[in-house]
Each structure stands twice: as C-alpha cells, then as structure tokens.
Structure 1
Amino acid sequence: MLRDNHRHQWEKDRARRPLATRAGTGATERDTGLQMRDLVFHARYREVAAPPELADAFGVPEGTPLLERVYRTRCSAESAPFSLVTSYLVRAMIAANPALLDDSHEPWPGGTQNQLHTVGIEVGRVEERVSARPPTPRQAWELGLPPGAPVILLRKTSYDITDRVVEISEVTLPGDRAELLFTTSLERW
C-alpha cells in the first residue's frame, strides 16, 4: 500500500462530483490499486465525550459530543486490514445531515470530504503528523504483524477554509507493508 499526500486533493476534487463518479472508487482503491469487489469494508460509529486532548485540538469544551468512526478495510484474500483508522468529528458540526451519524451508509461515496460538503464544510488543508513505535499487543494481532515489526502512526487533522479543525483521524499502519510518500510542489518564482 502506498499512501501519498496527493490523496487529499484527489478526494476534494471528487467531493462535488456526481454520485456515480464518487461511488466508482475510493481512496483505498486509489492507494492499493485494488477494485471495490476485492475489498471487505467495516465501519462502526458511536458517540463519545471529547477527552481533553481532542477537545483542545477541536477547540471545544471537554465532554463535547464527538462522533467516533472506526474503520477496518482489508483485501478479501487477506485476514489483516490495511490499517486501523479511528476518525473523530464534532457531532454538532455534522448533525444537520442525519445520514452522517449512521454507519450503515458506509462506505460513503466520496469519503469524509463529501460527507463534510453535505453540511456546507469545505476542507482547506490537511496536516499529517507521522511517527513510529512498536505496536501494542492488540495492534500486532489486528494487523497480523510479525514479531519486531513496527507500526507507523499517522495523525491527520483536517481544517476547513476558515482554519477550524473539522476532523481528526488516527491511522495505524503496519510498518512492514506500508509506504508513505510526501511530495511538496513548489510554486515558481
């Protein structure tokens, strides 16, 4: 799996496209080269109270209702998911569209940027912070990691065009089979 930072612009470009275009393929297919028919997707949503770290990041009071979204996607021929993803949205920001609170609508055609678009939010920038460490026993088990393999931790923070934090995702990638590529295009002088 190759994950690069161009995926965010790719997703944004598709956020306002017709449903048929958005439903044809998603970011996982883009990153893996697989087709939708080759994937097994699972999503689970629940409401949680914002703990101090997330409350601070979102700029909301501690205890503010968040929608926690847990995603696991894997190739149908394999038992381990590509990554462990937990995403958070401030519930009040998305409550105008009740479909966004219901995991039965997943996988959502167009991903999170389209979901946010349905409630009038445009993502202006995405920050990704990457680190690595040994996995927890649960992460090693879920990702099917061999002994000694590290995990790559990616914390993605999405900001709207007014610089408000609108989504935080914590992505745990298997260090033995994930590659991250960051390309920064520079404007000409």
Structure 2
Amino acid sequence: MSPRVQRTDPPYLQVAKHIRAEIESGALPDGEKIDSVRTISAKWKISLATATKVVGVLKAEGLVRSEPGRGSIVTRDQAAASARDRVVHSLQGRIYADHERAEIRVAELVPAPEAIADALGVPAGTDVIRRQRVAFRDDVPSSVSTSWFKGELAATSPLLLETERLPQGTPKYVAETAGVAPAAGKDQLRADIASEEDSAALNIPLGSPVLRKQNWVLDAEGDVIEFGRSVSVARRWATYDYEISR
C-alpha cells in the first residue's frame, strides 16, 4: 500500500518524520541513498516544493548530505539517539541498528551518591542499582552512559545486576518484571569537555568536546523509574520533536 499524508502535522514534517524513523531504525543505513525529490513527490502525492522541504529538513538535522552524482545520502553516523529514542525504541522492540551495539561494563548495587539520590528521590546512601554501558557504531565508541535505578528493583528485576545485555532493552524489561511502565521523561543536555573517564571510555583525547546528557524516566504517578547520565562524541546531532499548544 502506498504511504499517504495525514492532515495533522504539515505534510513535509510527516514525510520527514517517516524517513527519519527509517534512518534511526537502520532500515536506511549510513551511506544509503534516499529517494529523490521527484520520487518523494510522486510516492507521497505532494508537490515538488514540499518534497524539497522534506530533504531540506533531513539535511538540516544532519541525517543526510548531498553528494554530486548520487543525490541525498544518509549520514547516520552524525545522529545521536536521545534518551527518549532509547526508551521508545525499546518498547517497540527495536534497540540498535545493524551497525550499532552496546557493551554493559558495570552492573552493581551501590550506596547512592547525594546527586543520584536526589535525582531518584531516595535518601543519600540508600542502595541503588548502577548500570553502565558503552555504545559502539561500526565498532567505534560513540557514547558511554550510566543508568541508575532504585535498589528495590533488584528483587523484581534481578537481571539489572547482570552485565549481559537485555535483548528487549532495559525499559521494557523493567516494565515486564516490575510492572512499572514509562509514561513521561525529561532530558537535559550541555556542551562539555571530556574528562579522564570519558577519554578512556570513548578513546578520545582528554578535553575533547562532548555532549553531556542526563535524563529522567517517570511512571504514570510521576515517580522516577530510571535516572541516566551519558556523554557522546562531538559532531553528532541530537533531534527532538515536540508540540507547542496554545
């Protein structure tokens, strides 16, 4: 069945969102040519001007680049997945694209440092779960992240304390085992420079520019399920879609 434009978002945003999802899922891998403006126009039954805006959006987001003689080429290596992407893709059964993987380096129960305790809403020193992973793209480290959970999940979700990767993803595993499903989230980002720990984990020079993030995943009651911190290498775009209502 041919795709059809629905009259919610502007047509060019709907089409851009569809192609972006194909890039993020790996269906359109790095180096792959996306449809031409004329093909997009015909496939989605939109004007050439609207199709041109679609490609312009993807270029502006760093997801495609123009290559003489070939057209618009996917530059997936410039895109950084957000915490929201990780949660949503996990619940949809998609974790990593073919050229991506992750290694769990640390999975342990530790006393909560004050900042982590504040983020999780527990007293400082309370036992919490610390789970650290390094993500790779084409076998090159792209980000290192640490997820923190309340210690009580050790009883209901014991695999959080194992360094084996969870096939269904952490958010879905916690939802299945503890009965707490993600309902909302909050992300914070800042530009920074690589610390000694970042340098060692990502194999980049000390002081290199990085994007540092922290995020909260909340259940329907507003309680924190997971607090995360991560750092990504430079020259990658983080994209967020949002609605503004009056």
- TM superposition score category, shorter chain reference: 0.7 to 0.9
RMSD, aligned CA: 2.4
Assess if the C-alpha contact under 8 Å between 2:185 and 2:218 holds in 1. yes
Q: Distance in 2 between matches of 1:171 and 1:63?
A: 22
Aligned sequence identity (%) = 21
Gaps of 5+ in 2: 1-76
- Once the two structures are TM-superposed, the CA of residue 163 in structure 1 deviates from its matched residue by 0.2
Compared CA separation, residues 168 and 77, structure 1 to 2 (3 A):
closer
Matched, 1:180 2:242: no
The structural deviation recorded for 1:103 is 2.1
Counterpart residue number, 1:101: 161
Paired residues for 1:146-161 under 5 Å: 149-161=208-220
Q: Which residue number in structure 2 is paired with residue 45 of structure 1?
A: 107
Aligned residues: 166
Match in the other structure for 1:19 = none
In 1, the alpha carbon distance for the partners of 2:178 and 2:187 equals: 24
SS in 1 for 2:133: strand
Secondary structure class of the residue paired with 2:183 = strand
1:130-165 CA distance string (max 9 Å, x none): 011111133234323357631111101111110001
In structure 2, relative to structure 1, the CA distance for the partners of 1:127 and 1:166 (3 Å cut) is: same
Structure ID, larger Rg: 2
Shift of 1:94: 4.5
- Is there any run of 5+ residues in structure 1 with no aligned partner, and where? 15-21, 30-34
- In structure 2, what is the Cα distance between the partners aligned to 1:74 and 1:6? 18
Residue 10 of structure 1 pairs with residue 88 of structure 2? yes
Amino acid at match of 1:69: R
Bigger relative CO (Cα 8 Å, ≥ 6 apart): 1
Deviations along 1:54-74, one digit per CA (max 9) or x if unpaired, are 112211111111111010121
In structure 1, what is the Cα distance between the partners aligned to 2:151 and 2:206?
Answer: 39
Q: Quickly say closer, same or farther: Cα 1:136–1:148, change in 2 above 3 A.
A: closer
